[in-house]
Amino acid sequence: MATRPTSARTITIVDVAAEANVSKSTVSLVLKGSPLIKGETADRVKEAAAKLGYVYNRRAGELRGNASNAIGVVINDLMNPFFAEVLVGIERKLVDAGYVVLMAHTREDVALQDKVLQSMREQNAAGLMLCPALNTPRTILKTIQSWGIPLTVFVRNLGPGSYDFAGSDSEEGVFLATSHLLKAGHKQVGFLGGQKGVVFTQRLAGYKKALLEKGLAFSDDLVFNANPSRTGGYEAMNALLSKKPNLQAAVCYNDVVAFGALSAMGEKGLHAGSEFALMGFDNIMDTAHSNPPLSTVDIRPSELGEQAAAILLQRIQDPDAKRLVYTSQPTLLLRQTA
Amino acid sequence: MATRPTSARTITIVDVAAEANVSKSTVSLVLKGSPLIKGETADRVKEAAAKLGYVYNRRAGELRGNASNAIGVVINDLMNPFFAEVLVGIERKLVDAGYVVLMAHTREDVALQDKVLQSMREQNAAGLMLCPALNTPRTILKTIQSWGIPLTVFVRNLGPGSYDFAGSDSEEGVFLATSHLLKAGHKQVGFLGGQKGVVFTQRLAGYKKALLEKGLAFSDDLVFNANPSRTGGYEAMNALLSKKPNLQAAVCYNDVVAFGALSAMGEKGLHAGSEFALMGFDNIMDTAHSNPPLSTVDIRPSELGEQAAAILLQRIQDPDAKRLVYTSQPTLLLRQTA
DNA sequence: CTGAAAGCGCTTACAG
DNA sequence: CTGAAAGCGCTTACAG
């Protein structure tokens, strides 16, 4: 599209003012729908604006008013549908509220994360939503706080502190999943996928808690670490199958890990459900029609995103409110794998 | 995070100037690394800036210079991992080039799309990347052109025209997939999923072309329309199985449709590969470890995203260049379903 | 109900 | 090599 601006000069508020025979103050006022201006005048201004093809220059306006309608959201692993669903929820809520979203993907790179955050700051973001990359130092909280930009952390927390947060009750979720398997009669349950980090620790805690409740001992041999991805799940399941051939049940770190596990099982001709019970975590949309449909822990990803955004919006409204937190309460969703 | 700006007053270029004992012009110059300023002076300015915790106000700068480092990208179906992968490719390329991305998700809603596009315009976006919502009128091209903002359309084209575009050769891809099935001896091949639209038309054309080459007649009865989603694939496969019980092969509109089909087959105890041959399209990462691993047409989604972004970058550099196009050449990727 | 003026934080010729 | 001045397109008191 070899194109260039239609008009050499961008048309501004003063052009509109001239066309409508009013001052630019008046134009500004009608543009923001001020009730101060007489309807008749307002109409004339609107006509003039339309006629000239005027387009509001938001950045100029914001410069004077020192406001901003951009909100930065940083995601780490968009390849995981869970985060895509959360992002969609966030985006919807923010756009509905009249904001525009500055999105960045950091693929777990802390240095990149610093860079994009800084960039969002320069853009004068009205707020920041952060799902911290693995190994993000807690100091990021103080840093952003010193910037004076409202922040809400989501999905992965940054340890204790008074920052706003939206996430799910990971411990409870895995507790539910593990307990379900135990109640079904399994004496041993594996834990598949995930790696050191706050969320992993919480999920593993839920697993241990369920074991404890049944008077069962926790054994490190039954946890198979791996990337929280399909590939990771595939590898973890293969490891489990070769090292613990008698195991017939496992809870997964999340749904994509479960999908990878399903793939590994399929290769061995192992039928999920009847021959090996598997539980996922998240309830991403894909689980409804996976092969076979996955039993999982439902934390309603897109609602989580919306709630996270709602928290940020609230914080922007009321900077002095006390800590805002949303915790998605997990529920068991049994389909065909357990 | 009940927080508020650390300093009541934001510190600006004039504060830095005062601290460093130079004029604000000088500060501005050193900030953008101008070689005009003596090293010694520059150092002094940088120190002053660091000491005061100065942060560049990009929007103010852009107002005067009329530039912008924000690029808008609008996506329609982030729930489909294909688009997530494309988006990640786009984002990476853009951030590397020093841009920030304004992202919007329109879930195929043309009105919403208009709204977010308009919003990006107000933000003074330096460029726009659009994967048009279904039923987007071609006039959107003229509209954006009249705005004078460089545009690149990706994945879904908008019919003939001279706009920049990055996509894949859909017809060739499906031709390859269908031909593969035909060569394997299948006399009849179904077409699963997808709905009216440019891409659908192209893919169906590839299917027809392969049939024709083998001297086979095209029959409408063998195409099963459905949403290009897992659920759609699930439904389409169920329809196929009940209406054409003798069919043993199908090409899918895309990978997620194939996943849905796999789910439906699993329910019926139908083994993909040996009992029913299935081909996907896209080669999203998930296909490597699906159950079973999917045979598909590889169009390298994230590279497609990067190339699309590269085109926009080029257009920004050279507004008068002739039409820029990237077409991903599909290759067959055989795994276990065909 | 509307206008004249100052200012947001930067950049860009223009001098010197 | 550096400074004084004007200006980017808006908004916001302040008058009237």
State whether B187 and B259 are in the same domain.
yes
Residues 18-57 of A with CB under 7 A from strand C: 21-26, 29, 36-38, 40-42
B184–A contact, CB cutoff 8 A = no
**CB B284 within 7 Å, strand C:** no
Q: What is the pLDDT of residue A7?
A: 42
Give B61 CA → D2 C1' in Å. 20
Least confident of A144-158, B32-46, B234-248: B32-46
The mean pLDDT of B316-325, rounded to a whole number, is 94
Give A227 CA → D7 C1' in Å. 55
* CB contact (8 A) between residue A289 and residue B104: no
Q: What is the pLDDT of residue A65?
A: 74
Residues of B in contact with A322 (CB under 8 A): 2
Q: What is the pLDDT of residue B197?
A: 87
State whether A218 and A273 are in the same domain.
yes
Q: Please give the mean pLDDT across all residues of chain B.
A: 93
Residue A291, pLDDT > 80, answer: yes
Residue B334 lies in a domain: no
Q: Please give the mean pLDDT across all residues of chain A.
A: 93
Residue A303, pLDDT > 50, answer: yes
CA angle at residue B175 from B172 to B179, to 5 degrees? 145
State whether A119 and A150 are in the same domain.
yes
Give A123 CA → C14 C1' in Å. 30
Which residue is associated with the tokens 């922040």?
A: A151
Residue B26, nucleotide of least CA–C1' distance: D2
Cross-chain CB nearest to A123 (options B58, B112, B164): B58
**How large is the greatest C-alpha to C-alpha distance in chain A, in angstroms?**
86
Residue A315 lies in a domain: yes
- Cβ-Cβ contacts under 8 Å between A and B: the total is 206
The mean pLDDT of B32-61, rounded to a whole number, is 88
The contacts of residue A198 (CB under 8 Å, 6+ apart) are: A156, A157, A158, A159
Band of pLDDT at residue A8, cut at 50, 70 and 90:
low
Percent of chain A scored above 90 by pLDDT? Answer: 82
Give B116 CA → D14 C1' in Å. 37
Residues of A in contact with B230 (CB under 8 A): 285-286, 288-289
The mean pLDDT of B35-49, rounded to a whole number, is 88
Structural domain count, chain B? 3
Q: What is the pLDDT of residue B245?
A: 95
B305–A contact, CB cutoff 8 A = no
Residues in B 13-52 with any Cβ partner in A closer than 8 A: none
Phi-psi group of B284: left, alpha or beta (phi > 0 → left; psi -120 to 50 → alpha; rest → beta): beta
Cross-chain CB nearest to A6 (options B141, B148, B262): B148
Separation between Cα atoms, residue B173 and residue B194, nearest integer Å:
15
Residue A37, nucleotide of least CA–C1' distance: C1
Residue B3 lies in a domain: no
State whether B257 and B281 are in the same domain.
yes
pLDDT digits (tens, 9 = 90+) for B170-220: 999 999 999 999 999 999 999 999 998 889 999 999 999 999 999 999 999
State whether A32 and A58 are in the same domain.
yes
Q: What is the pLDDT of residue A32?
A: 84
Residue A119 lies in a domain: yes
* CB contact (8 A) between residue B319 and residue A3: yes
State whether A163 and A198 are in the same domain.
no
Q: What is the pLDDT of residue A35?
A: 83
State whether B319 and B269 are in the same domain.
no
State whether A57 and A95 are in the same domain.
no
Which residue range is the domain that position A308 belongs to?
70-168+301-329
State whether A34 and A49 are in the same domain.
yes
pLDDT digits (tens, 9 = 90+) for A151-207: 999 999 999 999 999 999 999 999 999 999 999 999 999 999 999 888 999 999 999
pLDDT digits (tens, 9 = 90+) for A319-336: 999 999 999 999 999 999
Residues of A in contact with B123 (CB under 8 A): 58-59, 70, 100
Residue B37, nucleotide of least CA–C1' distance: D1
CA neighbor of A230 nearest in space, from A80, A65, A90, A77: A80
Q: Best interface-test mutation with A: which of B3, B117, B237 has the largest number of A CBs within 10 A?
A: B3
In contact, B254 and B282? CB cutoff 8 Å: yes
Residue A118, pLDDT > 60, answer: yes
The contacts of residue B218 (CB under 8 Å, 6+ apart) are: B207, B208, B211, B212
pLDDT digits (tens, 9 = 90+) for B88-119: 999 999 999 999 999 999 999 999 999 999 99
Strand order in the sheet with B249-252: B223-224, B190-192, B249-252, B277-279
Residues of B in contact with A315 (CB under 8 A): 1
Tell me phi and psi for residue A191, to 5 degrees: -125, 120
CA distance B22 to chain A (A): 23
* CB contact (8 A) between residue A291 and residue B266: yes
State whether B293 and B305 are in the same domain.
no
Q: What is the CA radius of gyration of chain B?
A: 26
How far CA B307 is from CA of A106, B27, B261, B302, B328, in Å, comes to: 19, 37, 31, 9, 9
The contacts of residue B31 (CB under 8 Å, 6+ apart) are: B13, B45, B49, B56
Q: What is the pLDDT of residue A208?
A: 98
Last residue of a domain, one of A28, A44, A64: A64
pLDDT digits (tens, 9 = 90+) for B2-22: 333 334 578 899 999 989 999
pLDDT digits (tens, 9 = 90+) for A67-89: 789 999 999 999 999 999 999 99
The mean pLDDT of B141-150, rounded to a whole number, is 93
Residue A7 lies in a domain: no
The mean pLDDT of A305-330, rounded to a whole number, is 96
Residue A6, pLDDT > 80, answer: no
Strand order in the sheet with A151-154: A325-328, A164-168, A151-154, A127-130, A70-75, A100-105, B100-105, B70-75, B127-130, B151-154, B164-168, B325-328
Q: Which nucleotides of D are covered by protein (CB under 7 A)?
A: 1-5, 7-13
Residue B1, pLDDT > 80, answer: no
Q: Which residues of B232-270 are buried (b: 16+ CB within 10 A; e: fewer)?
A: bbbbbbbbbbeebeebbbbbbbbbbbbbbbbbbbbbeeb
B242–A contact, CB cutoff 8 A = no
Residue B336, pLDDT > 70, answer: yes
Q: Which structure tokens are listed for A258?
A: 């479960």
State whether B122 and B206 are in the same domain.
no
**CB B56 within 7 Å, strand C:** yes
CATH number for the domain harbouring residue A283: 3.40.50.2300
Give A25 CA → D14 C1' in Å. 13
Nucleotide C7: nearest residue by CA–C1'?
Answer: A64
Percent of chain B scored above 90 by pLDDT? Answer: 83
* CB contact (8 A) between residue B319 and residue A124: no
How far CA B84 is from CA of A54, A82, A102, in Å, comes to: 35, 11, 16
Percent of chain B scored above 70 by pLDDT? Answer: 97
Band of pLDDT at residue B317, cut at 50, 70 and 90:
very high
Residue A26, pLDDT > 60, answer: yes
pLDDT digits (tens, 9 = 90+) for A214-272: 999 999 999 999 999 999 999 999 999 999 999 999 999 999 999 999 999 999 999 99
Q: What is the pLDDT of residue B7?
A: 42
Q: What is the pLDDT of residue B63?
A: 86
In contact, B215 and B240? CB cutoff 8 Å: no
**Other beta carbons less than 10 A from residue B326's beta carbon:** 18
Nucleotide C1: nearest residue by CA–C1'?
Answer: A37
Residue B138 lies in a domain: yes
Residues of A in contact with B84 (CB under 8 A): 78-79, 81, 84
CATH number for the domain harbouring residue A24: 1.10.260.40
Residue A337 lies in a domain: no
Give B14 CA → C7 C1' in Å. 14
State whether A104 and A222 are in the same domain.
no
Give A60 CA → D15 C1' in Å. 25
Whether the link from the prior residue into A5 is cis, omega within 30° of 0, is no
Residue A58 lies in a domain: yes
Residue A54, pLDDT > 80, answer: yes
CB < 7 A from strand D, the residues are: A 9-10, 12-14, 24-25, 28-29, 31-32, 54-57, 60-61, 63-65; B 21-26, 29, 35-38, 40-42, 60, 63-64, 66
